[in-house]
């Protein structure tokens, strides 16, 4: 009898769904290769999908009216609740009260006023393809490696994807539960890096095998914590290349599709780390260009434009940021 009630409930749920929702659901499952163990589980995921779809549509109606600066879209996370997404991708709060000034940066008033208000290091060939951290909370490693890849390119004119997995395996216990990015710079300074093609990413911590490969030494002198304001952050990216930034990944990042992301409410307490690869201006709004770690099928081919010059330390972006030199 219990099985019968379950079947009837599932049928009832699909009867209440619109044709558009059902078509989008089938397309979603095919696009992202989704499959579920039981009909009951699929029903649960479809219900979550419906709720997320409604949220996306409501937001995009506001966007069409000019009341929101960015567009949302259905992506691979559309069958997850917000809590599931945050837990699955292990967004960790970073201790922003800790300040590590390994070196100092000139004040922003030393910036050449003739500098243009647009820069994209991707256009200079200095940024490796977008990667995907998966369900290992290794954004702190991905972002540090991303900065080192760009530094190596600027130093030797060679763009080489380095292995995050080597760091995941060798830097510390529980590296998939988040960590402090400067530890990666210190580790690489001592041990070097390995090519990604030699030491592939596995989304989990395993035995350290870095000594089985020929290390690549990256001759940077130090890492620099950038002073806590957007002018200094812009100067650092302009002069020294892509930077690592720790910030608060608001739950509305989950379905970001395109445009300049801005929400009035955004915490200063960082829970995510990304690579800042440039800046610009769109429809009167200044923005940062962020390289995320969720794969190319999120956002603008894996990137986000986030509002710049809106509020002091918006989403915590200036509190904890670094470049290497």
Of the candidates 43, 52, 271, 292, the residue annotated as catalytic is 292
Question: Is there a catalytic annotation at residue 292?
Answer: yes
Beta pairing partners, 119: 279
Q: What is the DSSP letter of 205?
A: -
Of the candidates 139, 170, 266, 315, the residue annotated as catalytic is 139
Within 8 A by CB and 6+ apart from 313, the residues are: 228, 229, 268, 319
Question: Is there a catalytic annotation at residue 132?
Answer: no
CA–CA gap between residue 258 and residue 261 (Å, rounded): 8
Within 8 A by CB and 6+ apart from 193, the residues are: 145, 148, 162, 163, 166, 167, 215, 216, 218
CA–CA gap between residue 7 and residue 168 (Å, rounded): 44
Of the candidates 43, 52, 272, 315, the residue annotated as catalytic is 272
Q: CB–CB of 105/232 below 8 Å?
A: yes
The alpha carbons of the chain give a radius of gyration, in whole angstroms, of 21
Within 8 A by CB and 6+ apart from 61, the residues are: none
Q: How long, in residues, is the chain?
A: 325
Question: Is there a catalytic annotation at residue 272?
Answer: yes
3-state secondary structure 266-321: CCCCCCEEEEEEEEEEECCEEEEEEECCECCCCCECCEEEEECCCCCCHHHCCCEE
Q: Which residue has the tokens 């200094």?
A: 232
| Residue 187 C-alpha from the chain's centroid | 22
Q: Which residues are annotated as catalytic? A: 139, 272, 292
């Amino acid at each position: 009898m219990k099985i019968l009630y379950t079947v009837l409930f599932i049928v009832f749920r699909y009867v209440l769904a619109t044709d558009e929702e059902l078509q989008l659901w089938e397309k979603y499952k095919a696009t992202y290769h989704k499959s579920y163990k039981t009909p009951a589980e699929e029903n649960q995921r479809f219900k979550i999908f419906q709720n997320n779809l409604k949220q996306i549509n409501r937001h995009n109606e506001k966007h069409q009216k000019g009341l929101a600066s960015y567009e949302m879209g259905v992506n691979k996370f559309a069958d997850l609740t917000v809590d599931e997404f945050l837990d699955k991708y292990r967004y960790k709060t970073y201790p922003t009260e800790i300040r590590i000034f390994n070196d100092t940066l000139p004040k922003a008033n030393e910036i050449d006023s003739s500098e243009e208000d647009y820069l994209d290091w991707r256009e200079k060939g200095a940024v490796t393809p977008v990667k995907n951290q998966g369900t290992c909370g290794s954004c702190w490693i991905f972002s540090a490696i991303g900065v080192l890849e760009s530094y190596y390119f600027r130093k030797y004119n060679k763009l080489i994807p380095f292995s995050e997995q080597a760091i995941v395996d060798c830097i510390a216990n529980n590296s998939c539960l988040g960590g402090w990015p400067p530890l990666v710079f210190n580790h690489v300074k001592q041990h070097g890096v390995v090519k990604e093609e030699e030491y592939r990413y596995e989304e989990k911590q395993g035995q350290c095998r870095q000594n089985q490969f020929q290390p690549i030494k990256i001759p940077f002198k130090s890492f620099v914590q950038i002073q806590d304001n957007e002018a200094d952050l812009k100067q650092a990216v302009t002069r020294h290349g892509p930077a690592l930034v720790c910030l608060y990944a608001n739950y509305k990042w989950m379905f970001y599709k395109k445009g300049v992301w801005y929400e009035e409410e955004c915490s200063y307490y960082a829970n995510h780390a990304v690579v800042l690869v440039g800046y610009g201006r769109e429809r009167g709004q200044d923005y940062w260009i962020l390289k995320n770690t969720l794969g190319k099928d999120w956002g603008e081919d894996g990137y986000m434009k986030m509002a710049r010059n809106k509020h002091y330390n918006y989403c915590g972006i200036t509190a904890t940021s670094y470049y290497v030199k």
